[in-house]
Amino acid sequence: MNKKKLWFVILIVLGIIGGYLWMNDTLYSSGKDVSQHLTITADMAYQGVNNYCHSAYDWSVAEENPSMMSLTMGEETETEYQVIFRSYTGAIVNFYVDKTTGTTRMVEYVPTLDVKNEAGTIDLFDYIEK
- Residue 64 is predicted with a pLDDT of 81
- Residue 61 is predicted with a pLDDT of 78
Domain boundaries, the chain: 1-31, 34-126
- Residue 35 is predicted with a pLDDT of 47
Query: Which residue positions in the chain have pLDDT lower than 50?
Result: 27-28, 34-36
**If you write DSSP's letter for every residue of 16-70 in order, what string do you get?**
HHHHHHHHHHHHHTTS--GGGGSPPPHHHHHHHHHHHHHHHS--HHHHH-GGGSE
- Residue 34 is predicted with a pLDDT of 46
Rounded Cα distance between 130 and 124, Å, is: 12
Q: Is the pTM of this model over 0.85?
A: no
106 φ/ψ angles, rounded to the nearest 5 degrees: -110, 130
Amino acid letter, 25: D
- Residue 57 is predicted with a pLDDT of 87
- Residue 44 is predicted with a pLDDT of 96
